[in-house]
Amino acid sequence: MSSNSSTRPVRRRRVFYIPGYDPFHPRRYRELYRSEGAEQAQISGYALSLSPKATGGPFGWHVSAKIEGARVETDMEVLVWSDLVKHSMNSSIVATYWQLLRTAWIYIGSGALWRLMHLCKGPVIAALYPVVILLLQAGLAALLGAGVASGLGALAGFVAVPEWVVRAMQIIAGAGAAVALLMAFKSRDNKLFVYYLMHDYAYSAGQRGALPVELEARMQAFTVAIHAALEENAVDEVLVVGHSSGAHIGVSVLADLLHAGLPEERPALSFLTLGQVVPMVSFLPRAARLRRDLQEMSEQELIPWYDVTAPGDGCAFALCDPVAVTGVATPAQRWPIVFSAAFTQTLSPARWKALKRRYFRLHFQYLCAFDQPKDYDYFRITAGPLTLGERLRDRGHSRSRLADPVSGYRSVSKR
């Protein structure tokens, strides 16, 4: 199939899904797709079923669907970097507090924090959440330790022991109580997400916006996998989906793919970003590589790019054009088309009421069923008979799109 044949109906598709900063096994995305896809199919009146995938790759699944009167076969593949995430999270309590101080200094010292706050307060508040809670936990641990030490000192007054022994016992007991409380807080992080979020922001900011070496190597492997799917020319569309931190990874992967050169005969290649947090990285001083890739992806003509966020998602930079707000947009900008999933309209009042305080869950709503769907339906996009570009051909920017350049760092690296 030639590169300009995106108007042809899709009968077979490859989807490459790039997760955000997530330490869990990618099977969670298969089970999410299974359960939410079944619900969306029932709501919207189409058929969708999952089975083991037949293509290569470390993890994925096959989707058979009948949508809009057409049968479509889709192979989904998760581009895995959860092992890198797990390794980055394997740090002690002391190391996490050092990450807190270093990450706060990077964002505050570079001026990025104030510019991000000016751009969109929601995700910055989400970023400050682990900082505030970790400091609160440290304060409570210090109070507990001081209280235990003081109580032990009072009890020691009734026993004839040397003062230095009392002091040593106070230090040991107080420190032990403080550490025990901090460990108890950490053990409940599956409910609080404090350490998880702190590691997330620390990983993104650790190189002041430059990519960690191990992630750069993994992204090269992603590029190879997508290029191989294009060369096979056995499908009608190759769709790359980047969620959360996976959005800026996808930007750089596809920019590298374009630079290397696409096969002359190939299926349609499309790009969908969901719940992106690009400014958290692109606003940092050493993010010149990402800024270059954003600029290149915004100007190219070969890959339709649609960016979907929602004001109800407090963890994403909702309706912020990632290219424009970073300050690297040029008059040649074509992409992305930025529009809202409009949770308050696409979810019924009852469902919205049940979800609106579940901030982490809402960040994944783009991958889930909507009981009042409009023009965004993750399952029609990934398993339906139209390419992304055809399905959203008439979709323009949301009127509330934010495009004013805000970042203080706008340099771009050279290839």
Q: What percent of the chain has pLDDT over 70?
A: 94
Query: Which whole number is the average pLDDT over 192-215?
Result: 90
β strands within 35-164, DSSP E: 47-51, 60-67, 70-78
Report the distance separating Cα 76 and Cα 63, nearest Å: 7
Q: Are strands 70-78 and 60-67 parallel, antiparallel or unpaired?
A: antiparallel
Cβ neighbours of residue 72 closer than 8 Å, sequence gap 6 or more: 10, 11, 12, 13, 63, 64, 65, 66, 383, 384, 385
- pLDDT for residue 3: 41
* Largest CA-CA distance found in the chain, in angstroms, rounded: 91
- pLDDT for residue 1: 38
- Other Cβ atoms less than 10 A from the Cβ of 395: the count is 13
- pLDDT for residue 155: 60
The b/e string for 367-394 (b: 16+ C-beta within 10 A; e otherwise) is bbbbeebeebbbbbbbbbbbbbbbbbee
- SS3 label, residue 116: helix
- pLDDT for residue 159: 59
Q: Are strands 237-243 and 268-274 parallel, antiparallel or unpaired?
A: parallel
- pLDDT for residue 360: 87
Q: Which phi and psi (to 5°) does residue 123 adopt?
A: -65, -25
What are the tokens at 181? 């409380």
Report the distance separating Cα 148 and Cα 141, nearest Å: 11
Q: Examine residue 311 and say whether the peptide bond preceding it is cis (omega within 30 degrees of 0).
A: no
Q: What percent of the chain has pLDDT over 90?
A: 73
| CA terminus-to-terminus distance, the chain | 30
Report the range of poorest mean pLDDT among 60-69, 151-160, 367-376.
151-160
In 3D space, the residue among 186, 171, 182, 177 whose CA is nearest the CA of residue 138 turns out to be 182
DSSP 320: B
Name residue 22's amino acid: D
Domains of the chain listed by start with CATH number = 12-83+210-391 (3.40.50), 91-204 (no CATH)
